[in-house]
Amino acid sequence: MEKTMYVVSACLIGEACRYNGEASLHPLVKELVDKGQVLAVCPEVLGGLSIPRPACEISGDRVITHDGLDLTDAYKEGAKKALDMALDAGCSRAVVKSRSPSCGKGVVYDGSFSGRLIPGNGVFAEMLVEFGIETITEDDLEVIWGWDEDA
Ligand code: SF4
C-alpha cells in the first residue's frame, strides 16, 4: 500500500526556524519522519523572512508585527511556495504548528499581541484547507493517531 504523505511544519521536526530562533520538536511527528512520510516546510522562511524575525499576528486580512509593519505579502508568497511543494510531493494530510500566523489551524492570536486567541487559520493552513488537504495541529495528533492505520 502506498504510504500517506504528510506536509509538516518544519519546526515540529526540530528545525530551529521559529521567529525566536527555536524549534518545537514533537515526538509523534518525529515518528512520521522516521517512517519516511514527511515533507517539512517553513512557509515564513520560504517567504524570505529571516531567523530570528519579529513575531507577527493576523489582524483582519493582514499579517503584522507588533510595530505595525505589514508582512502579508511575504506570508502569502511563502505559503504558496509551501503549498506547491506539498501538492508536488502528493501530500494528502498536514500536521501544522498550533497558533502560528502561518501554520495555526482552528485558533490564532487576535492581532492585539495580548495573548488572546480567536477562531481562525494561519495563512498557510488556510491554503491547505482550501486545497482539500486534511489538516490538524500537533495538539490533535494523539487524538487522531489511531485514525491512520498505515501511519
Ligand atoms: Fe514553524 Fe510554520 Fe512558524 Fe515556520 S512558519 S516556524 S514551520 S510555525
The yes-or-no verdict on residue 140 having pLDDT over 50 is yes
First vs last C-alpha separation in the chain: 11
- What atom of ligand 1 comes closest to residue 12's alpha carbon? 1
**Residue-wise DSSP of 48-112:** T--SS---EEEETTEEEETT--B-HHHHHHHHHHHHHHHHHTT--EEEE-TB-TTT--SEEE-SS
Ligand 1 pocket (Cβ < 6 Å) reads 9-11, 17-18, 42-44, 97, 100, 102-103
CA distances from residue 27 to 32, 34, 134, 138 in whole angstroms, order as listed: 9, 11, 20, 10
- What atom of ligand 1 comes closest to residue 44's alpha carbon? 5
pLDDT for the residue 73 = 98
pLDDT for the residue 2 = 82
127-139 tens-digit pLDDT: 999 999 999 999 9
- What atom of ligand 1 comes closest to residue 17's alpha carbon? 6
57-109 tens-digit pLDDT: 999 999 999 999 999 999 999 999 999 999 999 999 999 999 999 999 999 99
pLDDT for the residue 143 = 79
The yes-or-no verdict on residue 29 having pLDDT over 80 is yes
In this prediction the pTM is: 0.95
User: Taking the alpha carbons of 50, 5, 24, 118 in that order, is the dihedral positive or negative?
Assistant: positive
Q: Cell 488537504 belongs to which residue?
A: 133
Q: Name residue 102's amino acid.
A: S
